[in-house]
Amino acid sequence: MLIRRPPELPTREITDESLYLNRRVWLAAAGMAVSALPTSRLWAKTLALGAAQDDKPTSYKDLTTYNNFYEFGTSKDEPARNAGTLRTSPWTISVEGEVKKPAKYDLADLIKGIATVGRTYRHRCVEGWSMVIPWNGIQLKDLIAKLEPTSNAKFVEFTTLMDEKQMPGQRSGVLPWPYVEGLRLDEAMHPLALIATGIYDKPLLNQNGAPLRLVTPWKYGFKGGKSIVRIRFLRTQPATTWNIAAPDEYGFYANVNPAVDHPRWSQARERRIGSLLKQATLPFNGYADQVASLYTGMDLRKNF
């Protein structure tokens, strides 16, 4: 994502033909009789097979050593090496804006009484890599219900800690700090959206966004703001970090969409961390049947 340092980024290497051939390889690997299917049905079948992607959870080691958390450096290995400076206890979250229960909450109080869940989700980074993550946490909708937004609330904003001592990467101008992300309220209320506090039944490590982070599996990974200290309910759409940094490249919606290229690379395929082969990226990261109705009537090329 880093604007000034492109070598890690996938380039536009995929022609339509090679995409088609790769699709055939992928279908063959999935045990399908490729030659028996006409192309259009082949494609429909590929999309329908979303759930049949190899969704084996990524290893704990990869999940905790290959990260994006620019507050601790821009290389994938830096968050694991540098995030030891972050103190996650005690941790206070300020709930603000259009909400009936604004207050500063200790994390334990914030989530007290809310049922915990375990959910294994695909995780697709806008850079072209992906993972499968067994999250622990709570459903965001349950937290929102507890906090009681007013009828004026239309968006929710999530802000990461701002503290150069604990997060030395904030001394660099690589992004406008603090890191801010946001959702429309109805997106935030979707049952798939989580506030994660753990991975693999263990508390989140700092590099993964301890002690709490946002998880929206149908969106590119940058939506998932880490180490959240403020949740604000708003009447209007919040300004979000990557959208401020590069508005042509990172939209507010950030829905995973293989049909809409990033200006500098294709989004049609992805590489699962731990696997050599690339695979097709699915609309809404394979969750279209559950979330597409949130966007009925919207032009997803404009609202990328």
Q: Which of 226, 262, 272, 278 binds ligand MTE (CB under 6 A)?
A: 226
Residue type for 170, please? Q
Closest distance of CB 158 from ligand MTE, Å = 9
Query: Judged by CB under 6 A, does residue 240 bind ligand MTE?
Result: no
Task: Indicate the SS3 state at residue 303.
Answer: coil
Q: Closest CB to ligand MTE belongs to which residue?
A: 221
Query: Judged by CB under 6 A, does residue 177 bind ligand MTE?
Result: no
Residues 122 and 285 sit within 8 Å (Cβ to Cβ): yes
Q: Which is nearer to ligand MTE, 105 or 250 (CB)?
A: 250
Query: Judged by CB under 6 A, does residue 70 bind ligand MTE?
Result: yes
DSSP one-letter string for 15-45: -HHHHHHHHHHHHHHTT--GGGS-HHHHHHH
Choose among 293, 288, 292, 300: nearest CA to 49.
Answer: 288
Q: Which of 224, 258, 283, 286 binds ligand MTE (CB under 6 A)?
A: 224
Choose among 252, 264, 239: nearest CA to 295.
Answer: 252
Q: Which of 68, 82, 136, 285 binds ligand MTE (CB under 6 A)?
A: 68
Q: How far apart are CA 251 and CA 303, in angstroms?
A: 7
Query: Judged by CB under 6 A, does residue 285 bind ligand MTE?
Result: no
Q: Which of 125, 153, 174, 212 binds ligand MTE (CB under 6 A)?
A: 125
Residues 251 and 303 sit within 8 Å (Cβ to Cβ): yes
Query: Judged by CB under 6 A, does residue 179 bind ligand MTE?
Result: yes
Q: Which of 208, 240, 243, 266 binds ligand MTE (CB under 6 A)?
A: 208
DSSP structure class, residue 285? G
Report phi then psi at 144, rounded to 5: -60, -40
Binding piece for ligand MTE, criterion CB under 6 A, among 11-19, 53-61, 222-230, 249-257: 222-230
**In this structure, is the dihedral angle defined by the CA atoms of residues 207, 208, 212 and 216, taken in order, positive or negative?**
positive
Q: Which is nearer to ligand MTE, 70 or 253 (CB)?
A: 70
Q: Which of 73, 211, 221, 251 binds ligand MTE (CB under 6 A)?
A: 221
DSSP structure class, residue 147? H
**Which residues are at the interface with ligand MTE (CB under 6 A)?**
1, 67-71, 123, 125, 160, 179, 208, 221-222, 224-226
